Structure 1
Amino acid sequence: PVKRHNDQSIKEVLQQLVEHYRWKGRLHQSRIRELWADRMGTTINQYTREIKIIRRKLYITIDASALKQELHYGRDKIREMVNEELGEDFIEEVVVR
C-alpha cells in the first residue's frame, strides 16, 4: 500500500495553485468569453472585438457605436450576470469601449 502524506483533494491542490500563481483572472477571462458568446447572442458577439480583465475590471471592446452605448447602460446587469456565472463577486466594474 502507498502511504498518503496529504489528504487534500485534487480540486484543493488546483485551487491553491491558481491562487499562488494568480491564474484566477486568466481562468475567469476564458470562462467569460464562453459565457459572452452563449448569453449575449451571435450579433453582439460578432461586434465584440476584445474581452479582458485587468485588476478585477472587465473591459469589453465593441466595434458598433450604437451597441457600445446600449451595453454601457447595461454594465451593472452584465457585471451581475458574469459574477453569478463565476460563482463569486470577482468583477468589480464593467468598462465598455
Structure 2
Amino acid sequence: MKKPFPSASSRRADIIPLKEGLEALVRAYRLGGKLNEVTVVASWERVMGKAVAQKTKEVYVSKGKLFVRLTSAPLKHELVMAKTRVLELLNAEVGEQAVTEVIFL
C-alpha cells in the first residue's frame, strides 16, 4: 500500500536544489556576464586591499573593460605597471574571464 504523505527526508524527482535552479535561471536569461561584472566591482576592495580602495574614487565595467578612477598619481603609476596582475586577481575572484582590460583614470 502506498504512503499518503512522503517522508520529510525523501526527495521528489521534480525538486532541484536552489543553487541549481538559480544557475539555470541565470543561464536562461543570459545574465552571467552582467553578474560577473557586478561581482568584479563589488570585490575591488577585497582583492586590492583597503589602502587602494581608500584612494579609489570610482570603479565600473563597460563592454568588458574595468575602469578605475584613482585620487593618487603615484598609486595610479604603480597599478599601471602591475596591470596584468590586477587583471589576473580580479578574474580569479570571479572564477572566469569577466574583464579583458583594466584602465586606470
TM-score (norm 2): 0.70
1:70 equivalent in structure 2: 78
- Flag structure 1 segments of 5+ consecutive residues without an equivalent: none
Q: Partners in 2 of 1:73 and 1:20 — Cα distance? A: 39
The alignment covers a number of residue pairs equal to: 97
CA contact (8 A) 1:57 1:91 kept: yes
Q: Percent identity?
A: 30
Higher helix proportion (structure 1 or 2): 1
Between structure 1 and structure 2, the one with the greater Rg is 2
1:69 Cα deviation from its structure 2 partner:
1.3
Cα RMSD of the aligned pairs, angstroms, is 2.6
TM-score (norm 1): 0.75
Structure 1 segment 25-64 matched on structure 2, within 5 A: 25-64=33-72
2:42 counterpart of 1:12 = no
1:89 equivalent in structure 2: 97
Aligned residue identity for 1:64: S
Deviations 1:22-58 (A, max 9, x none): 5445533443344322232222111101111111111
Q: Partners in 2 of 1:11 and 1:56 — Cα distance? A: 26
